[in-house]
Structure 1
Amino acid sequence: MPSSLLSRSPSLRALSHRDFAFLWMGTLVSNIGTWMESVALGVYVTEVTGQAGWTGGVAALAHVPSLILAPLGGALADRFDRRAFMSVCVCLQGLLAALLTVLAATDQLTVPWVAVISLLNGALNTLVIPCATALTVAVVPSEDLHNALSLDSAQFNLGRIIGPVLAALVLTKAGIEGALFVNALSFLAVLLALSRMRGTVHVVAPKVEALWAGILRGMRLAWADPGIALALGSAGLVGLLISPFVGLVPVFALQVLGGDATTTSLLLTAQGTGAVIAALGSGAIVARVGRRAFLETGLLLVGLSSAAYWLSPTLPVALGALFILGAVYLVVFTGLKTVCQARTPPELQARVSSLFLLLVNAGYMLGVWGQGVLSDHVGVRPITAGAALLFFGIVVLTRALRPRGLAALGT
């Protein structure tokens, strides 16, 4: 689509900026490969162990490094050339994907190997994500920021749609090693995109500022700004109570619905489809009702839609509920991330983005492992649906007791 037409479309306007378009396309290809790997490994761990606790635990390992590395990753991304920094991390991710492929092809893959490599991948993701967010903010004007972050979420969820479908096909034809090999190749797309970017994408951090002093400066800003603090806290709570549905999709598909890898793929595709549609349509809605009202509505609906998914009696009902959850989930996270980035000075954006990642991952890690273990003892539906309804109750109670508190989410 010509850039002139893109600039007139409220849903695609950010893609009219050349550097953002390159970054968006490269990351999309990589995310397709990543979701192929996620489906393949999730099904593998569930089939080998037969326990939700193991599936949730392995999924949680990818988020453990963020508890230590997230603030460091943001500070480094603000200190060094962001394209070079991200390129090094992506190369290392490609090497880990290649190692998984070799292990699977030689019948040496085990659950401990999957756990170790998931941990290492999590460390690299913790460094890459704040850098990628800061790159996005740097290459689009402020009026297109919400649209750019929505499109970032859209490409992530396009990967969630395409990746599981391709994974189901490749797993059938070429086995787990085939899916892992495609993921290893997909990292080349990010490297190509970074090499083609030519705009100003780096804000130089003060030379005299020590690394840890820079980290603390980002934390002080987040604590002092009521909007950023509320957005970060909300993101952590979503990660704890709602986000575990992502890592536990194989458990729901195999153990509750009695399905297989194809069922897992269908569920992930339904969520991704809802998210993409929400991303493409949210620009017009935000322009009409405002960011704050849109975000508040999403916070109310995400708990209810999550509970509806977990209580779904059949696959068709689950697909419909997950489609809605995918849409609302995107609205919530895009809105919270936009609040954080819009209220942050350019030289601190990667650091605040890393704090966002830290809290989301910490919540998700505890939630997906804890809900998985409790589900093995109590049952999947009571635990997961109960967590979703608890989140809904917290939002309702906050609105009732502190009706003016959410005003800080305005940007």
Structure 2
Amino acid sequence: MSANASGSFAPLKRPVFAALWAATVLGNTGSFMRDVASAWLVTDLSPSPAAVAMIQAAATLPIFLLAIPAGVLSDILDRRRFLIAVQLMLALVSLSLLLLSRGQMLTIELLIALTFAGGVGAALVGPTWQSIVPELVPKSELRNAVALNSLGFNIARAIGPAAGGLLLASFGPSTTYGADVASYALVIAALLWWKRSPHADDGLSENFLGAFRAGLRYARSSRDLHVALLRAAVFFLFASGVWALLPLVARQLLGGGAGFYGLLLGAVGAGAIGGAVLLPKLREKAGSDTLVLGASIVAAAVMALLALAPPKPVAVVLLLVLGAAWIAALTTLNGVAQAILPNWVRGRGLAIYLMVFNGAMTAGSLLWGTVGSGIGVPATLWVAAAGLVVIALIFHRVKLPSGEVDLDASNHWPEPLMAEPVAHDRGPVLILIEYRVETRQRGEFLRALYRLEPVRRRDGAYAWGITEDAADPQRYVEWFLVESWAEHLRQHRRVSHAGADVQGEVLRFHVGDAPPKVDHLLSIPERMARS
């Protein structure tokens, strides 16, 4: 057991990871302090549940809108410089909040606009922070490094809201925003200290639009990703009710001040840390589907009990329980998403997951804020709780993927034959693969070949099909189109061992001593025909 514990913290022995991890904890702590100040300040500016929910929506909507472009940028830009630029932007946002609050010029509209700007920064930073982790630790320590990042976030969640509420109650919002500005300075200092190794360009680096399209193609063709996104969307849509209305729960139902609101959020963070510690033992006894179902029922029970306006100590305990349930669902769903994504598209795939997560949170915040304005906070919490239980039971039948397939690159495709070098931007490229199959095996062969379609599309094909020879009933040609020669060369690198297994199932029907014939046909643009 001690060896395990030692291994869990092994990445912190690496100076660069430790420095950036500590800076991230401090930066997230500052962000939680800022969010507490903004969420509480809006209740001073307007008592409307819709206005309070708009702050939550303004924070999450940019992540919904920009998650995929942010994932692409994290793959094609220098990540260190990109992170520094975004941290400077976030510092300016908090500095603006500081100056406006000190001058008592902050309005609902300005607060929402600056919260939206902060959400833009969070959208740009999220995928990039996740993407740099493999650069900081060896592959053997990667899982522990990811777990430590999750732990660090929840440490910040536990400390930040409580510290923010204390500063807010003691010194006012401007001091709280000032603490956030200072936290960004520490993050920027750590990033400047990190000397990132330059990466050589092998000529196959993706541009923004190409990488964007490749990420969307993968997401469109991955059924496992569809299931993970669906399960995440329905959970967060209903569970967001408690986050959208928590400032009003603290103030109106429980009669607390800014310090108590910060304490409630700190309890969520502390509960999340406790839940993260217990989660490995829970996973030994329950699968991913059971964990998400259990977390949904617990979160619904907490919402229903908060609607009864319990005593403050009981409310703190309920938020501790909510934190444990929240981290169980969040970690399980995020872990499934990571497990079903190959390395080459992981950043973009996780960005799509973040888009769905924040889109559900945004839609939920707007929904529950509007409902709360009509029927009141307690009734809205009961409706959200009942909806969460019903939806969890319905979608429990849609099983999450196990994520146990081997997605490492197989590198089993031979290099394509070329009479002369082909320009990387030449395209589209038509690939033809000719099979010979005995007539009696036609049905089994075609069923196996159709299972290959999503594999081709995920790895880069934008069109795919099968043809048969009218003159030769044993001759079949699989074809697919790739947008450029460079994209087809990338496709060679993307084929996973799991994809190779599907191809192996197809190849067992091919008869003859020679392997299937493969042709690469290049499009001839009109300008070449005229020359």
Instruction: State the TM-score, normalizing by the size of structure 1.
Output: 0.88
CA distance in 2, matches of 1:143, 1:41: 41
Deviations 1:172-227 (A, max 9, x none): 33211110111111112221222343566979797464422311211222333333
Within a 5 Å distance, the mapping from 1:65-214 to structure 2 comes to 65-141=62-138, 144-198=141-195, 207=204, 209-214=206-211
Within a 5 Å distance, the mapping from 1:4-403 to structure 2 comes to 8-9=5-6, 11-141=8-138, 144-198=141-195, 207=204, 209-283=206-280, 286=283, 288-289=284-285, 293-312=286-305, 313=308, 314=310, 315-399=312-396, 401-402=397-398
- Report the CA distance between 1:361 and its aligned residue: 0.9
Within a 5 Å distance, the mapping from 1:399-410 to structure 2 comes to 399=396, 401-402=397-398, 405-408=399-402
Change (3 A) 1:208 1:40: closer
Q: What secondary structure is seen at the aligned counterpart in 2 of 1:311?
A: helix
Moved more, 333-342 or 5-14: 5-14
Deviations 1:332-373 (A, max 9, x none): 222222222233233322211211111111111110121011
Amino acid at match of 1:386: V
CA contact (8 A) 1:139 1:201 kept: no
Amino acid at match of 1:192: A
CA distance in 2, matches of 1:129, 1:173: 32
CA distance in 1, matches of 2:6, 2:224: 29
- Report the CA distance between 1:277 and its aligned residue: 1.8
Change (3 A) 1:76 1:239: same
Change (3 A) 1:371 1:110: same
- Report the CA distance between 1:33 and its aligned residue: 1.0
Return 5+ residue gaps in structure 2 as ranges. 406-531
CA distance in 2, matches of 1:140, 1:339: 22
Amino acid at match of 1:334: T
Deviations 1:268-327 (A, max 9, x none): 1111001112223434654x45xxx45323311222222222222312222222212211
CA contact (8 A) 2:76 2:206 kept: no
Moved more, 295-304 or 16-25: 16-25
CA contact (8 A) 1:306 1:385 kept: no
Q: What secondary structure is seen at the aligned counterpart in 1 of 2:60?
A: coil
Q: What secondary structure is seen at the aligned counterpart in 2 of 1:50?
A: coil
Change (3 A) 1:246 1:16: farther
- Report the CA distance between 1:69 and its aligned residue: 1.7
The sequence identity of aligned pairs, in percent, is: 28
CA distance in 2, matches of 1:206, 1:65: 33
Change (3 A) 1:162 1:137: same
CA contact (8 A) 1:147 1:283 kept: no
Which has the larger share of helix? 1
Give the number of the structure whose alpha-carbon radius of gyration is greater. 2
Report 1 or 2 for greater relative contact order, CA contacts < 8 Å, sequence distance ≥ 6: 1
Change (3 A) 1:342 1:23: farther
CA distance in 2, matches of 1:204, 1:54: 49
- Report the CA distance between 1:231 and its aligned residue: 1.9
CA contact (8 A) 2:235 2:392 kept: no
Amino acid at match of 1:29: L
Change (3 A) 1:17 1:205: farther
CA contact (8 A) 1:151 1:279 kept: no
Return 5+ residue gaps in structure 1 as ranges. none
Aligned residues: 400
- Report the CA distance between 1:17 and its aligned residue: 4.3
Change (3 A) 1:356 1:191: same
Amino acid at match of 1:227: D
Moved more, 243-252 or 30-39: 243-252
CA distance in 2, matches of 1:138, 1:236: 31
- Report the CA distance between 1:7 and its aligned residue: 6.9
CA contact (8 A) 1:304 1:389 kept: no
- Report the CA distance between 1:140 and its aligned residue: 4.0
Moved more, 207-216 or 40-49: 207-216
Q: What secondary structure is seen at the aligned counterpart in 1 of 2:61?
A: coil
Deviations 1:214-245 (A, max 9, x none): 11211222333333322222222232111342
Change (3 A) 1:12 1:231: farther
CA distance in 1, matches of 2:105, 2:114: 13
CA contact (8 A) 2:80 2:191 kept: yes
Moved more, 275-284 or 323-332: 275-284
Amino acid at match of 1:139: L
Deviations 1:34-76 (A, max 9, x none): 1111111111101220111101012201222234321111101
CA distance in 1, matches of 2:353, 2:262: 28
CA contact (8 A) 1:135 1:201 kept: no
CA distance in 1, matches of 2:339, 2:200: 16
Instruction: State the TM-score, normalizing by the size of structure 2.
Output: 0.70
Change (3 A) 1:325 1:143: farther
Moved more, 209-218 or 145-154: 145-154
CA distance in 2, matches of 1:101, 1:233: 39
